[in-house]
Structure 1
Amino acid sequence: MASVPKIKTYHFLPCKYGSELLLDIGRVETLKNYVLDSTLHQLSFYEIIFIQEGSGTFVLDENKISIQPQTVIFTSPGQIRCWDIEQEVKGYTLFFEKDFLHLFFSDELFLYRFQYFHQYSHPAEMQICEASFGKCLELLHEIEREFEQIQNDSNHLIRSLLYQLLIILNRYYACVYNVQRDTYIHSDFYRFRSLLEQRFLEDQTVEAYTKLLNVSSGFLNKICRQFSGLSAQQMIHHKLISEIKRQLHQNKSAKEICYEFGFSDPSNFNRFFKKFTNTTPQQYRRKI
């Protein structure tokens, strides 16, 4: 069987405007390369896409998102994606490195406080009403105007506009999917999400994270179910399956992935994967 081609990774260009600026904005219809890339690819940064016109499909980690007006799509670093365009897509893409916000707010958990990034149990997109979408466009236009004439203090103004936009989007997302919108409850849940992204290869049990967080397993499960709808172990399993699928898209054998993810042998790895996907790693790979 032919090997799967390596997926392209697009990285952020921090000095595009001269001095370092870890955020950028563009019109979807004018940007080249990754924005409408029809091949499998991934980004090393965060992106929010605002669809004004067009139709087709955007695939994000196997989830097929219908492209239609007033749709907002959220992508986190490392997610595998591709575009299948039927009618020309127009809109905005806003993309940034996590440090653009983390360094300013001195809060390493900042981006984990929003429901739409690093999502496990709800969609990575939402369709909102015309008035709400218009509110987002107003803020995007302000950011765009600031980029047209960059000044020494532009990064502060742009950061404040992005902060407003992220909060508004979190409110819309919470309303659309009836989830918790408060970004400052149970910091242990945000810490768990952050630790899981960093340590999923070495720590795959609830007990490992309760020790790191210094909380009980009952408390961790309670806040995970309250905020995500999943137990802590389910969140760990979702993360593992998601990452295994990404590895299967790369030119790696199932055996390599098995030992990299800490499974004792390929048969255990196959059983684990099939339990959550109803297919074996080899069958999944043949579908790619």
Structure 2
Amino acid sequence: MARNLVVKDLPELYETMGLPVEPLDASSGLTIHFLQQTFTEFPFKSVPFRPNYFSFLFIREAFGKYTIDDQSFDVQPGTVYFTNPGNYRVFEWYGINDTCLITFNEAYLKENVHEDVYRDFSFLLTETVEPRVLSGEQFAVVQQLYQQIHSEYRGNSPYKNRIIGSLMVALLLKIKEYFFQDYNPIYEGNRSSQIVKTFKRNLEQHFRDLVNGKVEMPLRVQDYADLQFLHVNYLSNVISSKTGKSVSAWIADKTVAEAKVMLQNPGLTVKGIAIRLGFLEAPHFSNYFKKHTSQSPAEYRRLHVG
């Protein structure tokens, strides 16, 4: 049961572990903070959890251990970790002097970086990436970027998210340069891992086609199984066991993420968005969106479109 604790954002995880959440505002879909301000007593071991968000961990000076699925890695100075939604993980800290953590969800990426973000940054769909120890010069480059992001995050610029989005593009490009020139995922040969990776790519491609009007109806769980020539129960079991989320939950999260992006476009009506996402009636879409976000599409648009 503990392996299936899915947390929607970092404040929820910290609340679960009794840690302070004051410096964190996850309302935009992004958080950034320095861990030495949160963790003051060592050693510290987290609860086992599965995040529903991406994260970058920039370890300038800290020591500990990080477990992702069945792989454990020692935390050491100069290390950068990238992890994405779904993986089971546990972290242990023995000491932290200077470490920065950035978390963000898919909706944030698509709203503030690029709506087709996976085209340029396909590594975001990768299941497990081995941490990389950067050279001093490389770490200094990413340090400058995450410090700028932190400064903007703490500021009040009316263009805050657009500025952070641009800085995130630069950071993602540097991660791509430093990590993925000779990219070789840990689990590349693992059958279950390949199924997860292919499912995520099929999900992303189908929603691209859906919002661009190339197809009219959303795929069902059975359809995603058929795309990989798998029995629907087998696909469901693999996705649930590897990511802690059902296929239906992945589809729902993707639907909501795409809806949030389109609601930021004042030129699209709620009815038009509903049709693009495959809903036969706008009220059905509105109820669906409210069920998953606690806001109606109109309320979301009013709060996020100036």
TM normalised by structure 2 equals 0.55
Partner of 2:67: 59
Runs ≥4 residues deviating over 6 A: 16-19, 197-200, 237-240
Partner of 2:284: none
1:196-235 paired onto structure 2 within 5 Å? 202-203=222-223, 208=227
Q: CA deviation at 1:196?
A: 5.1
Secondary structure at the aligned position of 2:89 is classed as strand
Secondary structure at the aligned position of 1:103 is classed as helix
Partner of 1:101: 109
Partner of 2:153: 147
Q: CA deviation at 1:21?
A: 2.3
Q: Retained in 1: the 8 A contact 2:113–2:169?
A: no
Secondary structure at the aligned position of 1:147 is classed as helix
Q: Deviations over 1:201-251 (max 9, x none)?
A: 53566x6269xxxxxxxxxxxxxxxxxxxxxx9xxx99975642455xx9x
Q: CA deviation at 1:104?
A: 4.0
Q: Retained in 2: the 8 A contact 1:74–1:116?
A: no
1:129-144 paired onto structure 2 within 5 Å? 129-144=135-150
1:71 aligns with 2:79: yes
Structure 1 residues 40 and 105: alpha-carbon distance in aligned structure 2, compared to 1, 3 A threshold? closer
State which drifts further: 53-62 or 110-119. Answer: 110-119
Partner of 2:201: 194
Q: CA deviation at 1:46?
A: 1.1
- Letter of the 2:65 counterpart: T
Q: Retained in 2: the 8 A contact 1:51–1:69?
A: yes
- 2: distance between equivalents of 1:85 and 1:245? 25
Q: Retained in 2: the 8 A contact 1:200–1:239?
A: no
Q: CA deviation at 1:19?
A: 10
1:80 aligns with 2:88: yes
- 2: distance between equivalents of 1:61 and 1:194? 21
Q: CA deviation at 1:132?
A: 0.6
Q: CA deviation at 1:86?
A: 3.2
- 1: distance between equivalents of 2:24 and 2:46? 28
For 1:30, which of 26, 37, 59 is the aligned residue? 37
Q: CA deviation at 1:28?
A: 1.6
- 2: distance between equivalents of 1:200 and 1:244? 19
- Letter of the 2:64 counterpart: G
For 1:8, which of 5, 15, 18 is the aligned residue? 5
Q: Retained in 1: the 8 A contact 2:2–2:48?
A: no
Gaps of 5+ in 2: 13-22, 186-196, 207-218, 247-306
- Letter of the 2:8 counterpart: H
1:117 aligns with 2:124: yes
Percent identity, aligned pairs only, is: 19
Alpha-carbon RMSD across the aligned residues, in angstroms, is 4.0
Q: CA deviation at 1:81?
A: 0.8
The number of residues matched between the two structures is 206
Q: Retained in 1: the 8 A contact 2:45–2:91?
A: yes
Partner of 1:177: 183
Q: CA deviation at 1:41?
A: 1.0
Structure 1 residues 69 and 242: alpha-carbon distance in aligned structure 2, compared to 1, 3 A threshold? farther
- Letter of the 2:131 counterpart: E
Q: Deviations over 1:150-182 (max 9, x none)?
A: 221111111110111001111111235379xxx
Q: Retained in 2: the 8 A contact 1:48–1:75?
A: yes
Q: Retained in 2: the 8 A contact 1:75–1:124?
A: no
Partner of 1:215: none
- 1: distance between equivalents of 2:75 and 2:27? 33
- 2: distance between equivalents of 1:47 and 1:146? 18
Q: Retained in 2: the 8 A contact 1:116–1:124?
A: no
Q: CA deviation at 1:89?
A: 6.1
TM normalised by structure 1 equals 0.58
Secondary structure at the aligned position of 2:56 is classed as strand
